[in-house]
Structures are given as structure tokens and as C-alpha cells.
Amino acid sequence: MAKKILIVEDEDNVRLLYEETLKDEGYDVTAVSYGKDALDMLSKEDFDLVTLDIEMPDMNGLEVAGKIREMGKNVRIVFVTAYSNYRDDLSSWAADDYIVKSSDLNIIKEQIKNLLSERG
């Protein structure tokens, strides 16, 4: 069965890029713009992995990650962000991985693949 990935990204073009890239990898991809929407989604459906942008207008990705964990959802969380500075932030440890956005999509493809195969 295809893994379900939820993409949370406020910038449209970026969201489009990741959505299409991951869809091409064969994942069942859902994309939302806001953190709130993400949480709604997660409460309704099960996902295998969530990618979170950090700098978002309503709720920043760190909070979302925290809330997801609070929900007790057993889901992989990956921060995918332009900002490298949050890597050392304590709250980023809620996530399983931290990817700095770059034009090289292989990085993100690899990381997600690895995370999803680590299940168990």
C-alpha cells in the first residue's frame, strides 16, 4: 500500500513542487497550507509522514509538530524548511528529521525513503 504523506507548506509553488515530486515517487500525497489544516487532516486520517515547513503564518511548524505529538499520532515528522537555524532548537527534536530546502530534490527523496523504511 502506498505511504501517505501530508505536506504542510504555506508557499504555493513550493507546495506544488513537493507535491508533484513525491507523487512521482509513488506516495499518496496530501498538501495543506496551514498548520491548522494539517492538524484537522491528521485527526481525521492516518498518515505515515508529515513534512512541515517552519515559517508559516498561522502556526509555526515547531508548534504543529508538538501538537501532532500531543495528539499521540504515531507519524513521522520531517521539517522541510529554508531556515537552517532551527536545527538546534529544542523543539525541532519533536521531528524525526530536518531538511534544509534546496534545489537538489534527491536529498528530500532519499531522506523520506529512509524514514519510511525505518518503520518498526
Which residues contribute to the site for another protein (CB under 8 A)? 11, 13-14, 17, 20-21, 55, 82-85, 87-88, 98-105
Q: Which cell numbers hold the place of 96?
A: 524525526
Closer to another protein by Cβ: residue 105 or 116: 105
State the DSSP code for 95: S
The angle at the Cα of 59, spanning 46 to 84, to the nearest 5 degrees, equals 95
> Residue 105 Cβ, how far from another protein at the closest point, in Å?
6
Minimum CB separation of residue 75 from another protein in Å reads 22
Give yes or no for a contact between 98 and 79, defined as CB atoms under 8 angstroms apart: yes
**Closer residue to another protein in complex, CB, 10/28:** 10
